[in-house]
Amino acid sequence: MRSQIPSLAATALTFSYLVVGQTTTDCNPLNSTCPSDTALGKTVTIDFTQGENSEFSADTGTTITYGTNGAEFIISSNGLAKTISTNSYIFFGKVSVALRAANGTGIVSSFVMESDDLDEIDWEWLGGYTTTVETNYFGKDNTTSYDRATSPTVSDPQDTFHIYTIDWTPASITWSIDSVLVRTLYYADALDGANYPQTPMRIKLGNWVGGAADESTGTVEWAGGYSDLTEAPFTMYVKNITIEDYTTNGTSYSYGDMTGSYESIIIENNSTSTNTSYSVGESVGTNSTSNASSTASSSNSSSSSVSVTSGGSSQPASFLLGLVGLGCAYLVL
């Protein structure tokens, strides 16, 4: 649905794609041969009330504290952003986060899924607005239009934990709040797939100052205005997160060519590799998924097929399973 955020944020919505799209990658597989990415290949649930977890690493300069509300992403008067990222990638999957957004004009809480070639799926909370959250997506860092964000309503996101979910398949992406669907994007609706996020992603959780004095005018307007750091601290809380990788038969992912198509992704496993063609109309994954309030960790059984029915029509789908060298790729937000 269309944005309902009021006043300045409503007029500045066109800047949001420009702002979030300014991400970088250490190696873009659309331009060169890059190391492979470690695959998660299972489902994990992380309870941050128990402290830090080895599935995530903190960005340089990031210190996270942990308490009864989970991981605390605290922006102090120095204004430094706080970000952690998963060490492994998922190739289609479902991620649910129990999160409380930070308050403060210009403060941006974020839950981002991002790939090496800059496909991206987002939830973002603007601290100056207490009734909405922004959803957005990007394909290959394409910034040719600025009208892809929506802002569904959410009750008291800065003082109440809600479960925010992204369910990502070759056919569609859905965003849900407390199991209530708030947005669906179909493959065909994203420039016939050209703008559709479809390459292996890792998950980033962070809190940053969009209203900083040295940010661009567009960024500040989108974030809701300049931030007053004398009012710090501004804290985002993440109690727990469940991450399900719908591809359960691999140990790493790499790009078979420079198209950025999901059909080109090579899945390496520990056994001999074979080429597999996935059937149209069957679903990704075989297990029921966990809610982010769960505290159990488990592994999925292997998926045998991929659904690419998009907006009422089917798209061809095939994945290559090939042996590739081990390695890892790193992204810088």
Return the CATH number at 183. Answer: 2.60.120.200
Q: Which amino acid is at 198?
A: Q
Question: Mean pLDDT score of the chain, rounded to an integer?
Answer: 80
Task: Look up residue 332 and give its two tokens.
Answer: 């810088």
Q: Which of 72, 120, 215, 221 is catalytic?
A: 120
- Does the pLDDT value for residue 226 go beyond 50? yes
Using CA atoms, how far apart are residues 197 and 170, in angstroms rounded to an integer?
9
Q: Is 262 a domain residue?
A: no
pLDDT in tens, 20-48: 434 667 899 999 999 999 999 999 999 99
Q: Residue 24 has what pLDDT? A: 67
Q: Residue 104 has what pLDDT? A: 98
Confidence of residue 207 (pLDDT cuts 50, 70, 90): very high
Q: Is 86 a domain residue?
A: yes
Q: Is 313 a domain residue?
A: no
Q: Which residue has the higher pLDDT, 290 or 66?
A: 66
Q: Residue 310 has what pLDDT? A: 33
Residue 134 known to be catalytic:
no
Task: Look up residue 261 and give its two tokens.
Answer: 């198509």
Task: Look up residue 237 and give its two tokens.
Answer: 């809380």
% residues pLDDT > 70 (the chain): 73
Q: Which of 13, 212, 174 is nearest to 94 (CA)?
A: 174
Confidence of residue 270 (pLDDT cuts 50, 70, 90): confident
Q: Is 222 a domain residue?
A: yes
Q: What is the mean pLDDT of residues 160-170?
A: 98
Q: Residue 144 has what pLDDT? A: 66
Q: Is 299 a domain residue?
A: no
In the chain, the number of structural domains is: 1
Q: Is 85 a domain residue?
A: yes
Q: Which of 124, 244, 263, 268 is catalytic?
A: 124
Beta bridge partners of 251: none
Q: Is 256 a domain residue?
A: no
Confidence of residue 146 (pLDDT cuts 50, 70, 90): low
